Amino acid sequence: MHGPLPFIHWPFLMQDRPVWEQEDGEVASEDPSKPDANRSDADTAHTAEKPLWDYALGGTFKSSDLAQFTRTAGLEPVVGLRYGRWKLGIGDGTEWLRFNSFRKDSSLDYKWLDTHRYSLSLSLQLHTLTGGEGSDAPESGLRTVRGRAVANMAITRRWQAGLAFTQDLLGKGDGSTLGFGVSYAWPLDPRSELVLNAGLTWGTAGHWRNAYGPLRLGADTLRTGIDSWGLGLGYKHRLARHWAWFGSLGFSGDMGPLAELPGNHKGRSGQIGLLYFHR
């Protein structure tokens, strides 16, 4: 079964400051083009000043397929490092939590553009050809190196949208993909937040055939097009300035010609974890 879609897990969907970085009682402006009413110039300057490097550590208990929980569930470490505009894994963890990105990411990212409403990052990522779009760092199988570009836009304080394009840089058959996602952030209180997101994945014929060839009879007939959808629900809670815990559920399914092939066409995944921020 194809894993949860990239926009359910990637660092998509930009907002100004996540709920766990706001002071108690602070109210954010709904329009991302306007500054928060309760933010002073000193607050803005403090937020803009970041150390040259930072890191985050943690762990997660997760299952990539809740229907086979006993076989797929397990503990995984979470490690990230940020140096200037460069990020390895989850970096310092800020974006990882802010954008509902509860996954172990095997990419090296460079933040090319980062403004109040827009962001653009470029990255390299190890990818297993048969691993699907939502799988974590590959463990076995033929691998390739993907180039990836992720663009985000804050529509309002709570609504965001993003695009992610990937390309197989080694020409091993992974082809190209384009993911589109939207997200809605629902603050529950000054320390917690729910995030709902949904999206679609377009891929070239080569991508779909390599991803499903060993798994589905007739996969060699797949064509270029939109063949996957995904939905996600995430919860984040700030325990203290340096600590937060999270949980997420992901739902995914096949569509188009992929849904006509034999096999399971829906997936469910989930995880719960704890993070420490050095910042």
pLDDT at residue 5, as a whole number: 38
pLDDT at residue 214, as a whole number: 75
pLDDT at residue 20, as a whole number: 44
- The string over 127-161, giving b where at least 16 C-beta atoms fall within 10 Å of a residue's C-beta and e elsewhere, is bbbbbbbbbbbbeeeeebebebebbbebbebbbbb
Instruction: Please name the residue ranges forming H helices in the chain.
Output: 6-9, 41-48, 69-72, 94-98, 205-212
pLDDT at residue 30, as a whole number: 52
- 179 vs 165: CA distance, rounded Å: 7
- 130 vs 175: CA distance, rounded Å: 12
Whether the CB-CB separation of 94 and 279 falls below 8 Å is answered with: yes
pLDDT at residue 169, as a whole number: 95
Model confidence over 203-253: pLDDT tens digits?
999 999 988 887 788 889 999 999 999 999 999 999 988 999 999 999 999
pLDDT at residue 228, as a whole number: 93
Rg (CA), the chain: 19
Whether the CB-CB separation of 107 and 11 falls below 8 Å is answered with: no
pLDDT at residue 105, as a whole number: 55
Fold of 6-277: Porin (2.40.160)
- 249 vs 267: CA distance, rounded Å: 11
Percentages helix, strand, coil for the chain (3-state, rounded to 5) are 15, 50, 35
pLDDT at residue 21, as a whole number: 46
pLDDT at residue 98, as a whole number: 52
Q: How far is CA 13 from the centre of its chain?
A: 9
The 3-state DSSP class for residue 115 equals coil
User: Hey, what are 152's tokens?
Assistant: 């985000």
Q: Interior CA angle at 91 toward 86 and 92, to 5°?
A: 120
Q: Domain ranges for the chain, please list them.
A: 6-277
- What count of residues does the chain have? 279
pLDDT at residue 130, as a whole number: 66
Give the alpha-carbon dihedral of 27, 9, 270, 183, to 10 degrees. 40
Q: Kindly give the parts of the chain with pLDDT less than 50.
A: 1-29, 35-47, 100-104, 134-138
pLDDT at residue 136, as a whole number: 43
